[in-house]
């Protein structure tokens, strides 16, 4: 079998792999990019971008239910052509995929971009497309795929995942969403607003990965008003005259389709990682460092969804850059990871920033809270629902984290994330300008509540202004 040598071999052309390739190119190293399956990132093809397109259609159509309050007549007659709606989602999806491919791999010659599945023969030797590739370093960026229990696969296309949902030409009458994490909750609410009879199931007692008990309770109440949520029991499927009966504990419903969103599996099982000689966890993920992305002490690095750690685009991009930099430079440079930021784009947004509730030292932590009901800007928008909770060290007043469900949460979460990244205190934040009327006034109110509970106070007599 033909063997060739390169400085760096990258397995996978998703977000992590493309960012790794960018670092290798910048360093002037020779490389090969190997990709099995469809090219293009998970985000663009089956993840955040098509889901946000569906969310936008659903939110705009749902907005008609509020128009009567404003004296807008005729809103009752608005209807939705679900076929056209899905075509719109697919057209946008294809645009995003084309942009990714056009900016990355479209013009790459076949000796640099091998479209085939790779497997390890030795720690620095790969086999793909009938050839062997000896690499000075290797980056594993193979992504992940939806987890579907073996028994559920017998239902064929009646059980959908994000890999197949966006291919539908029309929407079913009824659907069960099993798994109410980020993607399940976002799509479940959107499908309901598009006219599908949706029922949600999750074996956990919370949704969207929320840890703060007050935020969790509020989210379950708000989302539960749009479609039924059955929590705390494992769902089971059974055929019923061509439809599917979903049962969880004492709850049971018969639906046309099921959206399985119970998690994702790293695409590592075909790589023959046993030859690396490093421990593999129960998912098959090799032992690695989250700050260098190095696998054991080998010239092998892993990044993106393949790690199973932070399956979010910006994290995958960062991991790809770290892995690519170290692979290209022959070093093991550690990099500081960014403050965790999680955003669920359901309505209202559900967000978590920084340190999570379960990791806080409760006796050393102060909590500030604001309900969105009285917030002027939210009231005007007709979106005054939800709660924001912010956490700080009691003694120093340093901001630690936050969880929320509320309007424009995606914007508030970014502000909080940046502030935590800068190590700011509650007092310092209250000396920032807050315009009126804006959603950010909700954050200001939560900070005032938090400020009363921390020991560190601003000097000069006025909390909001710094003395000259």
Q: What is the pLDDT along the chain (468 residues), one digit of tens a residue?
A: 789 999 999 999 999 999 999 999 999 999 999 999 877 777 777 778 899 999 999 999 999 998 998 999 998 899 999 999 999 999 999 898 888 776 677 778 888 999 999 999 999 999 999 999 999 999 999 999 999 999 999 999 999 999 999 999 999 999 999 999 999 999 999 999 999 999 999 999 999 999 999 999 999 999 999 999 999 999 999 999 999 999 999 999 999 999 999 999 999 999 999 999 999 999 999 999 999 999 999 999 999 999 989 888 899 999 999 999 999 999 899 999 999 999 999 999 999 999 999 999 999 999 999 999 999 999 999 999 999 999 999 999 999 999 999 999 999 999 999 999 999 999 999 999 999 999 999 999 999 999 999 999 999 999 999 999
**Both tokens assigned to 78:** 């608005």
- What is the pLDDT at residue 103? 67
Q: Do residues 391 and 360 share a domain?
A: yes
User: How many domains are contained in the chain?
Assistant: 3
421 and 372 share one domain: yes
For residue 31, the domain's CATH number is 3.50.50.60
362 within a domain of the structure (yes/no): yes
Rounded-to-integer distance, Cα 118 and Cα 453, Å: 56
**Claim to verify: residue 136 and residue 230 sit in the same structural domain:** no
Residue among 397, 398, 401 at smallest CA distance from 388: 401
Q: How far apart (Å, rounded) are the C-alpha atoms in residues 193 and 55?
A: 9
Residues 245 and 228 in one domain: yes
Same domain, 15 and 120: yes
- Which strands form 387-393's sheet, in the order they lie side by side? 341-344, 349-354, 399-406, 387-393, 365-371
Give yes or no: residues 292 and 311 share one domain.
yes
Q: Are residues 323 and 387 in the same domain?
A: no
Helices (H) and strands (E) in the chain, counts: 13, 22
Q: Do 231 and 345 fall into the same domain?
A: no
Q: Is residue 221 part of a domain?
A: yes
- Per DSSP bridges, beta strands 229-231 and 197-202 are parallel
In this structure, is residue 73 part of a structural domain? no
> What phi-psi label fits residue 411: left (phi over 0), alpha (psi between -120 and 50 degrees) or beta?
alpha
What is d(CA 275, CA 262) in angstroms, rounded to the nearest whole number? 30
Return d(Cα 406, Cα 413) in angstroms, integer.
10
**Domain presence at residue 164:** yes
Q: Which of 262, 287, 302 is the last residue of a domain?
A: 262
Segments forming the whole domain that contains residue 241: 150-262
Does any domain span residue 119? yes
Long-range contacts of 384-389 (CB under 8 A, 24+ apart): 385/222, 385/348, 386/218, 386/222, 386/348, 387/214, 387/215, 387/218, 388/412, 388/442, 388/443, 388/446, 389/212, 389/214, 389/215, 389/446
CATH of the domain at 447: 3.30.390.30
The H-or-E segment that residue 344 falls in is strand 341-344
Instruction: State both tokens at 69.
Output: 């309050």
CA 366 to chain centre: 28
Domain match, 346 and 397 both: yes
Distance CA 334, CA 232 (A): 40
The model carries a pTM of 0.94
SS3 175: strand
Cα-Cα-Cα-Cα dihedral sign, residues 10, 15, 18, 22:
negative
Residue 211 is assigned to a structural domain of this protein: yes
- Residue 10 shares a structural domain with residue 133: yes
Q: Three-state DSSP class for 11?
A: strand
Q: Which residue has the tokens 């509650």?
A: 426
Rounded to 10°, the helix 182-193/48-62 angle is: 40
Token pair, residue 342, equals 């999680």
Domain boundary among 247, 262, 277: 262
Residue 457 belongs to a domain: no
Query: Do the domain assignments include residue 174?
Result: yes
Q: Are residues 206 and 305 in the same domain?
A: no
Q: What pLDDT score was predicted for residue 101?
A: 73
Q: Do 120 and 203 share a domain, yes or no? A: no
């Amino acid at each position: 079998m033909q063997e060739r040598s390169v400085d760096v071999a990258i397995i996978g052309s998703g977000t992590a792999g493309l960012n790794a390739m960018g670092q290798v190119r910048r360093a002037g190293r020779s490389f090969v990019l190997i990709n099995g399956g469809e090219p293009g990132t998970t985000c663009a093809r089956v993840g955040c971008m098509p889901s946000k397109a569906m969310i936008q259609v659903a939110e705009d159509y749902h907005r008609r239910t509020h128009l009567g309050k404003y004296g807008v007549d005729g809103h009752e007659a608005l209807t939705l052509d679900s076929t056209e709606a899905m075509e719109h989602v697919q057209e946008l999806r294809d645009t995003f995929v084309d942009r990714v491919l056009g900016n990355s791999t479209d013009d790459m010659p076949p000796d640099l971009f091998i479209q085939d599945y790779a497997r390890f023969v030795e720690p620095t030797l790969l086999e793909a497309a009938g050839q062997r590739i000896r690499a000075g370093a290797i980056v594993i960026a193979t992504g992940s795929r939806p987890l579907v229990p073996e028994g559920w696969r017998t239902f064929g296309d009646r059980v959908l995942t994000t890999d197949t949902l966006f291919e539908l030409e029309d929407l079913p009458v009824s659907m069960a969403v099993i798994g109410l994490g980020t993607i399940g909750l976002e799509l479940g609410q959107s499908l309901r607003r598009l006219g599908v009879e949706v029922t949600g199931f999750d074996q956990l007692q919370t949704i969207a990965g929320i840890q703060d008990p007050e935020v969790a309770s509020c989210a379950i109440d708000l989302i539960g008003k749009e479609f039924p949520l059955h929590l705390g029991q494992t769902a089971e499927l059974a055929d019923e005259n061509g439809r599917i009966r979903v049962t969880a504990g004492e709850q049971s419903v018969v639906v046309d389709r099921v959206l399985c969103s119970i998690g994702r599996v790293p695409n590592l099982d075909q790589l023959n990682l046993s030859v690396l000689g490093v421990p593999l966890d129960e998912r098959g993920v090799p032992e690695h460092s989250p700050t260098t992305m190095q696998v054991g002490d080998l010239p092998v690095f892993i990044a993106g969804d393949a790690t199973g750690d932070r399956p979010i685009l910006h994290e995958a991009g960062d991991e790809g850059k770290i892995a690519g930099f170290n692979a290209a430079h022959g070093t093991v440079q550690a990099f500081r990871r960014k403050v965790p930021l999680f955003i669920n784009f359901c309505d209202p947004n559900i967000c978590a920033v920084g340190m999570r509730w379960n990791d806080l030292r409760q006796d050393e932590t102060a909590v500030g809270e604001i309900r969105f009901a009285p917030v002027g800007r939210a009231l005007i928008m007709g979106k005054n629902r939800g709660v924001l909770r912010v956490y700080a060290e009691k003694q120093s007043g340093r901001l630690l984290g936050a969880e929320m469900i509320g309007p424009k949460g995606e914007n508030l979460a970014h502000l909080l994330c940046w502030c935590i990244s800068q190590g700011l205190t509650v007092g310092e934040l209250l000396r920032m300008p807050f315009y009126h009327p804006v959603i950010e006034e909700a954050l200001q109110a939560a900070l005032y509540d938090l400020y009363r509970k921390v020991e560190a106070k601003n000097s000069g007599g006025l909390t909001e202004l710094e003395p000259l």
